[in-house]
A and B are shown apart, each in its own frame.
Chain A
Amino acid sequence: MNTLTRLRQDWLGNIRGDVLAGLVVALALIPEAIAFSIIAGVDPKVGLYASFCIAVVIAFAGGRPGMISAATGAMALVMVTLVRDHGLQYLLAATLLTGVLQIAAGFFRLAQLMRFVSRSVITGFVNALAILIFMAQLPELIDVPWMVYAMTAAGLAIIYLLPRITRAVPSPLVAIVVLTLVAIALKLDIRTVGDMGDLPDSLPVFLLPQVPLNLETLQIILPVSITLAVVGLLESLLTAQIVDDLTDTPSDKNRESTGQGVANIASGLLGGMAGCAMIGQSVINVKSGGRGRLSTLVAGVVLLLLVVFAGPWVKQIPMAALVAVMIMVSIGTFSWASVRDLKTHPKSSSVVMIATVIVTVLTHDLAKGVLTGVLLSALFFARKVGRVLHVGSVAAEDGAARHYTVTGQVFFASAETFIAGFDFKEVLQRVRIDVSRAHFWDLSAVGALDKVVLKFRREGTQVELIGMNEASATLVDRLGVHDKPDVVERLSGH
């Protein structure tokens, strides 16, 4: 398919659906952008400008049409300490650096590393994210007047019950409007969005972060930027996969990585915080009929127009309404199926998922959680494959010789099992070890074989090795063995 056709399909393939879905998403983005600004500890306008910039830029630069990117909870959680200790300007600088790192990741095609992130880790990531978003709402629910509880409960009731009556209007929007009107009418003395900081009063303006350009600044922002870049790419690529599955269409993951970087640089230069793709909003977009790039663009532009021109009303939104929406987001993001599946899934998978969740929730850092999950998955995998090893033997008729046959995978995790498969106590004149149906993956495997041979010799046994060439073919760090036509024979035991 040529570029022009693809471009037309991405932008104009679904105009009506994209515009309407973009509107629904824009309305849903406002409370989220405000809530995530509050999590990060910055004025709501920082998150709102970020959401506008990121959505608009990613509409053009992204690799996954129909995915929604904006200010997100995952990113906000990472920047809390930086904002608290050093202030907004350092956050903006870190946002720019994040963008640069993500562009580099796209350039070096790091998106393919995502294949090392197993499904259990992804589930853990999603669940941890949901838990963190929920926990971030707790300060608004602790030590507050009873009206706040009533308002939050009413908000949740509207959000979940209204769709049973009509699906023509977004229920979170109705909840926000109704609660705001009630708060104004009853002159309730509860916290509103206006109390949380400045809202945008104009279009965003271009500005460079006011930070000294020196090594010290770099030392402050680099660790945060690396984490932001990793978390942003993880959530973006994971969301891209979800949208791929939902719409049954492919996406360009490397272009998405670069696009996220470009979007973050734009956001940093216009006074916005770093962001990434949003799972919940992207699902809402697809559900509302959004498929093309136009939906993301509409979402961003409408968001800005709404906020700039409806600012005075947005200020009046009670925090309770926002909390209700965010509870919905966290419930919708959490994978409830994964809790149900704990019983049926393999234990190692469940351990990986739960470890990812626990580490993330404790450190408030999704990158650490994912790293833990990936390491654990690798360990469990090595252990499982290590069991794919069998050492069998047949004695010769005269009892003076024995023929061992090794089948399976020999590597660091199975070297001990391999050695234990031989009986050195048996008095033999000759031993023949056939390894042509085994694979020696690393030096541990070769070391184990040497040890076996040496031990037999010391007992006075002659050792004959068969098929060593085939067995050690895998030793060479040669990737891409799948290119060779005879790969099936080679890997399935010569």
Chain B
Amino acid sequence: MTTPLIHTEGRVLAAIDRSTYTESVARHAGWAAARLGAPLELLHVLDRHPEVAPAADYSGNLELGEQERLLSELAQLDERRSALAQEQGRLLMQEAKGFAADMGVTDTDTRQRHGGLVDTLTEQEPGVRLFVLGKRGGHADFAKGHLGGNLERVVRAVHRPLLVASRAFRPIGRVLVAFDGSATTRKGIEMIAASPLFRGLEIRVLMAGKDGETPRAQLHWARDVLAVAGFEVTASLRDGQPDIAIADAVREEGIDLLVMGAYGHSRIRQLIVGSTTTTMLRTCPIPVLLLR
């Protein structure tokens, strides 16, 4: 398991693409950057897919200078597409910058990079304290309940906290922290206590599972840490599977933001039964902050 690090330096990086999540991602990122007092970077990844042929000609013959002709034709096609994508990206970023500014961020940088989303984010990781992504990318909006193919890979690839934006931004007042007593979530509690991101928010710590002495003690510890840090905090224990307990709490208690550890289980187990993290990302209608 990776040790979650508390990063107090670096920028907030939001991955923007053309989807219904654009505004929400920009606003969530703006909210986080403003609270953290961190610079915000809006990143648009131009992911060209050279493995897919842009055109096909079945004439099957080779004319004079076919190779040169084909090369210039394919290069022109790519050029036109890329120029268009770049221009669209530029407009998109302007729009997103506006939304972020609404949230009170002034220090916003916009950047476009070529490459795959996962690779690009991994490259940028060193200078980043928080990633912000939409639950789904531009291409995956049609299948409801289906995670953006990229998101799950990003969640696995990056090692910094990741804020997954829901479809629309809603002012955040009440935060639910999914706690299981593990080292990861204990570090998470300490991080919440220390981070300006949560200052002044109402925190609810939730533990799922059977009642007992150990969980109670762990829950008390969490509550104390947060209370000492000056938070208005309640802690509760719910019986049942973590994913169901969390979903119920989110629905019943009017939660605005869910904070949880990312992928606590082994990969083998995830392949077979999936994980609480994936389920929560898929089913929760609210933004989720994943801690590593």
Which of A's residues lie within 8 Å of B, judged by CB? 1, 9-10, 13-14, 17, 20-21, 24, 27-28, 65, 159-160, 162-163, 166-173, 242, 245-249, 279-280, 283-284, 286-292, 328-329, 331-333, 335-337
Contacts and interface: CB of A to CB of B under 8 A. Distances in A.
Contact of B60 (A288, A291, A337): A288
A168 B62 contact: no
- 9 closest A-B pairs by CB: A332-B62, A170-B60, A289-B56, A13-B51, A289-B53, A163-B59, A17-B53, A167-B59, A249-B50
Interface stretch (B31-39, B65-73, B93-101, B250-258): B65-73
Interface of B: 49-53, 55-68, 70-71, 74-75, 78, 116, 118-119
A245 B59 CA distance: 21
A283 B56 contact: no
A400 B151 CA distance: 80
B163 to A, nearest CB: 25
B66 A332 contact: yes
Nearest to A248: B50
A352 B67 CA distance: 22
B63 A1 contact: no
Of the listed residues A65, A167, A249, the one surrounded by the most CB atoms of chain B closer than 10 A to its CB is: A167
A245 B60 contact: no
Of the listed residues B53, B56, B75, the one surrounded by the most CB atoms of chain A closer than 10 A to its CB is: B53
A171 B53 contact: no
Given A1-B116, A10-B51, A248-B50, A170 B64 contact: no
6 contacts: A1-B116, A172-B61, A245-B71, A291-B51, A336-B65, A337-B68
Given A24-B60, A170-B58, A332-B61, A287 B51 contact: no
B60 A171 contact: yes
Contacts of B59: 162-163, 166-167, 169-171
A283 B66 contact: yes
Nearest to B153: A5
Contacts of A162: 59
Of the listed residues A65, A173, A283, the one surrounded by the most CB atoms of chain B closer than 10 A to its CB is: A283
Nearest to B51: A13
B53 A169 contact: no
B263 to A, nearest CB: 16
A337 B69 CA distance: 11
Contacts of B78: 248
A328 B58 contact: no
Contacts of A10: 51
A245 B74 CA distance: 10
Classify the secondary structure of B's interface with A: loop
A9 B66 contact: no
Contacts of A332: 61-64, 66-67
Contact of A17 (B56, B66, B74): B56
Contacts of A163: 59, 61, 63
B67 A283 contact: yes
Given A1-B116, A287-B66, 13 more contacts: A159-B61, A169-B58, A171-B60, A249-B50, A280-B62, A287-B56, A288-B58, A290-B53, A292-B51, A332-B66, A332-B67, A333-B62, A335-B65
Contacts of A279: 67
Contacts of B70: 246, 283, 286-287
Contacts of B60: 24, 27-28, 169-173, 284, 288
A14 B49 CA distance: 10
A39 to B, nearest CB: 18
A333 B67 CA distance: 8
Nearest to B52: A14
Contacts of B67: 242, 246, 279, 283, 332, 335
A345 to B, nearest CB: 15
A248 to B, nearest CB: 5
Contacts of A28: 60
Given A286-B70, A287-B70, A332-B66, A14 B53 contact: yes
B121 to A, nearest CB: 13
B56 A20 contact: yes
A291 B61 contact: no
A169 B59 CA distance: 5
B64 A336 contact: yes
A13 B52 contact: yes
Of the listed residues B51, B61, B71, B78, the one surrounded by the most CB atoms of chain A closer than 10 A to its CB is: B61
A9 B63 contact: no
Given A10-B51, A13-B51, A14-B51, A288 B56 contact: yes
Contacts of B74: 246-248, 286
Given A1-B116, A169-B58, A287-B70, A17 B63 contact: no
Nearest to A13: B51
Contacts of A27: 60
A286 B57 CA distance: 9
A20 B67 CA distance: 20
B50 A291 contact: yes
A291 B52 contact: yes
Contact of A160 (B51, B53, B61): B61
A167 B50 contact: no
B53 to A, nearest CB: 4
B56 A331 contact: no
A246 B58 contact: no
Contact of A337 (B52, B55, B58, B65): B65
A318 to B, nearest CB: 19
Of the listed residues A1, A287, A288, the one surrounded by the most CB atoms of chain B closer than 10 A to its CB is: A287
B53 A291 contact: yes
B57 A287 contact: yes
B171 to A, nearest CB: 38
Contacts of B56: 17, 20-21, 287-289
A284 B63 CA distance: 10
A159 to B, nearest CB: 5
